[in-house]
Amino acid sequence: MNSVQESKNELNAAIRYAENAISSAKETIESMEFRQEMAKKQYSEQTGREQALEREVANLKECLKIETAALDLLREDTPTMPVIPKAVAIAIFREGMAYGAGNVCDELDNATDIEINETGYTGGFEVNFTKYFDLSDELDLDHLRSKAVDNSDEEWVVDCLKTLCADNKFECRIHGVDDQEEKKND
């Protein structure tokens, strides 16, 4: 019986060995399945992040196209020089005229007598003529001051502004004056 008992013990040892091998194989399979699931999860997360980033890049590119197009439109529509409204330009011009005329009249008013001296020859004789004038007595300076502004109607001022802007290459545009010139040139 010894051999039956030994055979039984050997079979039990073989069963335990097989059970351990099966258990070890199951653990290996579970570990492999876990790793595979983790790899799938990481792949899907990475792919999801990549897709989200790709969508974000596409959105940013579209937004950039829109912004670039808007800037291009602004550059085309917006003059490079500042634009002054016509009414403001006319008011500035009239104020400048009044200021300039006022200064000239003030200078004439405060001037000393003006001497007019002429020399001529008549019948072999030299004739000298000298006369002194006080301009403030001879000129109506208040009338001159008022006329500098009164005579500057809008049409005359606009004509003056056109030539001033062109001749002096002003670094601004006058809305309603320069726009008319551009339309004529087009």
Directed axis angle between helix 86-109 and helix 154-168, to 10°? Answer: 90
Q: Is 0.95 topped by the overall pTM?
A: no
Task: Report the pLDDT value the prediction gives residue 149, as an integer from 0 to 100.
Answer: 65
Residues of the chain with pLDDT under 50: 186
Tens digits of per-residue pLDDT, 5-36?
A: 888 888 899 999 999 999 999 999 999 999 99
Task: Report the pLDDT value the prediction gives residue 147, as an integer from 0 to 100.
Answer: 73
**CA-CA distance, 160 to 170, in Å (whole number)?**
13
Task: Report the pLDDT value the prediction gives residue 121, as an integer from 0 to 100.
Answer: 84
β-bridge partners, 83: 173
Measured in whole angstroms, the distance separating CA 167 from the mean position of its chain's CA atoms is: 27
Return the DSSP state at 64. Answer: H
Task: Please classify residue 135 by burial: count the beta carbons closer than 10 Å to its beta carbon, then call 0-12 exposed, 13-18 middle and 19+ buried.
Answer: middle
Task: Please classify residue 170 by burial: count the beta carbons closer than 10 Å to its beta carbon, then call 0-12 exposed, 13-18 middle and 19+ buried.
Answer: middle
Task: Report the pLDDT value the prediction gives residue 186, as an integer from 0 to 100.
Answer: 47
